[in-house]
Amino acid sequence: MNIVRWEPFREMMSLRDAMDRLFEDSFVRAPRLWPRLGEWELPVDMYQTGDDVVVKAAIPGLKPEEVDISISDDTLTIKGEHKEEQEVKEENYFYKERRYGTFTRSLLIPVKVKSDKAEAVFENGVLTLTLPKAEEVKPRQIKVKAKQIAEGKKTEAKS
């Protein structure tokens, strides 16, 4: 192990570096954080069981016929539109936090699935997709067999 002399000025950030970082953090955002006007991000959970890949998405206020689901190769796409009711005038609102507009969410499915056997259930504002795994990716149980020793060899070993 080498001992290195500590120089506090080496660790200080230059003013130019500090200003660069300030502007990058303030103005440069990932596209995912800034959805297009009228779009919103669909929150999902994806997990696997022994036989299936399960995707759950919270879509409160929509009807099943307002949601479009497609699977192409290894990509799952969920689309829809949440329409706004126009019952209350804009100036009468105290809060307006519910999201309206279109949404699209595409997810990469990490294992091969049988898309023709997929099932979608919509209950209490939660869409649950069950995608059966393809046979080649399902875990297989291999039974271990004991090897039998021939009777003649057993008796020779005893004598």
pLDDT for 92-148, tens place per residue?
Answer: 777 777 777 788 889 999 999 998 999 999 998 899 999 999 887 777 778 888 888
pLDDT of residue 12: 66
Q: What is the pTM of this model?
A: 0.59
**CA distances to 29, 32, 108 from 135, in Å:** 41, 34, 19
Separation of alpha carbons 141 and 28, rounded Å: 50
**What is the tens place of the pLDDT at every residue in 42-75?**
889 999 998 899 999 988 888 888 899 999 888 9
Separation of alpha carbons 82 and 42, rounded Å: 11
The CATH architecture assigned to 36-85+98-138 reads Sandwich (2.60)
Compare 129 and 159 and report the one with higher pLDDT. 129
CB-based contact 44:57 (threshold 8 Å): yes
User: Domain limits of the chain?
Assistant: 36-85+98-138
